[in-house]
Structures are given as C-alpha cells and as structure tokens.
Amino acid sequence: MEGTIPLTYYIIISAILFSMGALGVLIRRNALIIFMSIELMLNGANLAFVAFARNYHVITGQIFVFFVMTVAAAEVAVGLALIVAIFRSKNSIDVDQMSSLKG
C-alpha cells in the first residue's frame, strides 16, 4: 500500500507520541506506567525511522527498527525483573518512595 500522505504528518505523529511518552515518564508515579511510557517513546522513534526509510527508499531505517525492538524486548525483561525485585524489598512500586538517594 502506498499513500500520498506527506512525510510531515508521520513526523508530527511521531513527535506527539514521543512527547507524550516523555510526559508520562515525568508525571506518573507508578513504576510500571513509567516503563510503559518509555515504550511509547521508543515507538514514536521507531515510527520516525520507518517514515524516513520509506521517504528515502533505503532499508536501513527498518533494520534499525528491528534492532530497536529487540533491544526494547530485552530491556523490558530486565526492567520488569528489577521492578519485581524492588517490590520485594520495598513492597511498593511508587517511585516517590524510592528516595533514599536524598542528599
């Protein structure tokens, strides 16, 4: 399927998704929601990659997305393991309670 949708639109969507992911990271207190916002940011970036790859007719963008996804998966695995471990010690997933670095 091809389309006459200008690249600009995709880019705007990508930017919106990215900013919203950033906002989520900053606003939410639940560690899991924060993690999900990070995935949202990654998605936005992936969208931009693919849009540019299509635009310049190179495959490199898609390959990059491939790798990003792989790494995102690995990251999620480890990150959730971390959250589980933290929950075990603090019995909460509220990041505001993890403030022992306070100086």
CB of 38: closest distance to other proteins in angstroms?
Answer: 10
| Residues touching other proteins, count (CB under 8 A) | 83
> What x-and-dash track marks residues 5-24 binding other proteins by CB under 8 A?
xxxxxxxxxxxxxxxxxxxx
Helix, strand or coil, per DSSP, at residue 19? helix
CB of 98: closest distance to other proteins in angstroms?
Answer: 6
- Contact between 29 and other proteins by CB under 8 A: the answer reads yes
Instruction: Scan residues 58-97 and list those touching other proteins (CB under 8 A).
Output: 59-60, 62-63, 65-67, 69-78, 80-85, 87-88, 93-96
- Is residue 61 within 8 Å of residue 49, measured between CB atoms? yes
For residue 91, give every residue at least 6 positions away whose Cβ sits within 8 Å of its Cβ, in sequence order, or none: none
For residue 62, give every residue at least 6 positions away whose Cβ sits within 8 Å of its Cβ, in sequence order, or none: 49, 50, 53
